[in-house]
């Protein structure tokens, strides 16, 4: 993992936020290459939702909303994580994560019967009169230790609300209290009728949104995997009650395929995880998990949220959130199937999956095997000579390609070193302008993954790249 973090900073993918002042825990800035790559990820997701499906439209809701929104959604009263501290190391952990990791460890060790027993006790803790005490007892009874230190001098479990609170207005009092949204989904739900009427949508239809969310996480870390400020890519799909399982399975298949076919992630590194312990609003939930260097963790959740959200907003706002079918005159509150992906986690997954080290022509190299559609730089134009006709032809080619693609021009150092620089940032193709280019108008195309080369006419370069991005 340290190699990935070092590469990300050195080559301009991700920087620690406000680093000259010592940084800020779990906050990061995306550099020139990182911001390009992240934009590519979001564009691919947006196209997969709003271009591929004619019944899905987009939204960009406000980060701050009327605070009653969060009362209706349950975030004010119950958006809490169970927190536990280790007295010896002064480190803080999520009690539920300690137990879940313990259950997974038992299963890996072949202790399935014991794992099932702990799983049953864990699920029972959620409905216990004192859930905090039940979780604490389970941790003590199982002898669960901190995964990073092995210590286990635990405090009592207590609840910790994850929402960031701020004051709006000139006077700081409770009447001006608002929250930074902890998820983007509620902005979609409160705009259900606005979007439906403005876009003349009929159930089933979806609303997609990409935006920032904020959570005051108990446990931060693993680079950009868990941050306090992060970006979500969410789509809420509104369906008729009774059809949610069919819609859920369709979206489950489509979302998994998107990671492998559109993004090029290795299928063997993706895993399904079914939630046996469901959130209060869900009747079915799966996660798509990825094998990170630090463990198998979630990158997207797919949930059947029932009619909980629209019903809650109807109750708290006094506004009717029902849908009337104009053909059958049926009136009902739609159910919702949600796909919720973390853009930053996906960014890290793509870097992790793409990072490789190998030997080419007797030299060690680092390369990022990013899919061309994901890679921040699509091609590099490399003139063999810095000056003269080669440089002029190369600059003209760069200018033409830059109309459609992000292209780098590099004329410093040997051609081999220039190839290595591009490999390290995931550039899939290098176009070399050499002596033969001047003679017959052809250029060398060098492929990142194999280092193989071929010649094409310089006039075909733009079409070559466009074909690779298709």
Indicate the annotated binding residues for ATP. 215-217, 225-230, 298-299, 342-345
Tokens representing 55 are 């019944």
Does residue 191 contact residue 59 with C-beta atoms inside 8 Å?
yes
Return d(Cα 397, Cα 416) in angstroms, integer: 21
* Among 144, 42, 46, CA closest to 93: 144
Q: Which helix (H) or strand (E) holds 355?
A: strand 355-360
Does residue 200 contact residue 57 with C-beta atoms inside 8 Å?
no
Residue 122's contacts (CB-CB under 8 Å, 6 or more residues apart) are: 96, 99, 100, 103, 135, 138, 277
Measured in degrees and rounded to the nearest 5, phi and psi for residue 284 equal -165, 140
SS3 assignment for 76-139: HHHCEEEEEEECCCCCEEEHHHHHHHHHHHHHHCCCHHHHHHHHHHHHHHCCCCCHHHHHHHHH
Residue numbers in the known binding site are 94, 183, 215-217, 225-234, 298-299, 338-345
For residue 60, what are the β-bridge partners? Answer: none
Q: At what angle do helices 2-10 and 343-354 cross, to 10 degrees?
A: 100
Nearest 10 degrees: CA dihedral of 287, 288, 290, 296? 20
Residue 14's contacts (CB-CB under 8 Å, 6 or more residues apart) are: 5, 8, 28, 29, 30, 31, 34, 223, 224
Return d(Cα 241, Cα 306) in angstroms, integer: 8
Residue numbers in the known binding site for substrate are 94, 183, 230-234, 338-342
């Amino acid at each position: 993992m340290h190699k990935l973090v070092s590469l990300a900073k050195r080559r301009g993918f991700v920087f620690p936020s406000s680093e000259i002042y010592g940084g800020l825990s779990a906050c990061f800035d995306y550099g020139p290459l990182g911001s390009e790559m992240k934009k590519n990820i979001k564009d691919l997701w947006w196209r997969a939702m709003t271009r591929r499906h004619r019944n899905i439209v987009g939204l960009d809701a406000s980060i701050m909303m009327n605070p009653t929104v969060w009362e209706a959604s349950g975030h004010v009263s119950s958006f809490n994580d169970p927190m536990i501290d280790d007295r010896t190391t002064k480190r803080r952990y999520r009690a539920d994560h300690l137990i879940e990791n313990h259950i997974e460890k038992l299963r890996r060790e072949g202790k399935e019967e014991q794992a099932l027993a702990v799983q049953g006790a864990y699920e029972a803790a959620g409905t216990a009169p004192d859930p905090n005490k039940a979780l604490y007892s389970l941790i003590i009874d199982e002898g669960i230790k901190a995964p990073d230190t092995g210590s286990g001098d635990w405090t009592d479990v207590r609840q910790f609300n994850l929402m960031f609170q701020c004051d709006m207005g000139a006077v700081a009092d409770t009447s001006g209290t608002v929250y930074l949204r902890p998820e983007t989904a509620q902005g979609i739900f409160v705009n259900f009728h606005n979007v439906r009427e403005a876009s003349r949508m009929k159930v089933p239809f979806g609303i997609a949104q990409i935006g920032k969310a904020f959570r005051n996480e108990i446990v931060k870390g693993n680079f950009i995997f868990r941050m306090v400020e992060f970006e979500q890519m969410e789509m809420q799909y509104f369906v008729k009650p009774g059809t949610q399982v069919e819609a859920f399975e369709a979206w489950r298949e489509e979302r998994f395929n998107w990671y492998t076919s559109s993004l090029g992630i290795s299928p063997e590194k993706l895993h399904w995880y079914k939630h046996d312990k469901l959130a209060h609003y869900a009747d079915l939930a799966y996660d798509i998990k990825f094998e990170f260097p630090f463990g198998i963790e979630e990158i997207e959740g797919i949930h059947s949220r029932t009619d909980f959200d629209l019903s809650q907003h109807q109750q708290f706002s006094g506004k009717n959130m029902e849908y009337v079918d104009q053909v059958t005159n049926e009136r009902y509150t739609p159910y919702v199937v949600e796909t919720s992906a973390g853009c930053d986690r996906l960014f890290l997954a793509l870097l992790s999956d793409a990072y490789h080290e190998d030997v080419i022509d007797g030299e060690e190299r680092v390369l990022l095997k990013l899919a061309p559609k994901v890679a921040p730089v699509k091609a590099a134009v490399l003139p063999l000579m810095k000056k003269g006709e080669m440089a002029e032809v190369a600059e003209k080619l760069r200018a033409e390609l830059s109309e459609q693609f992000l292209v780098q021009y590099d004329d410093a150092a040997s051609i081999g070193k220039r190839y290595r620089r591009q490999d390290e940032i995931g550039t899939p193709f290098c176009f070399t302008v050499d002596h033969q280019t001047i003679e017959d108008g052809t250029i060398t195309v060098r492929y990142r993954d194999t280092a193989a080369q071929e010649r094409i006419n310089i006039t075909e370069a733009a079409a070559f790249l466009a074909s690779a991005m298709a």
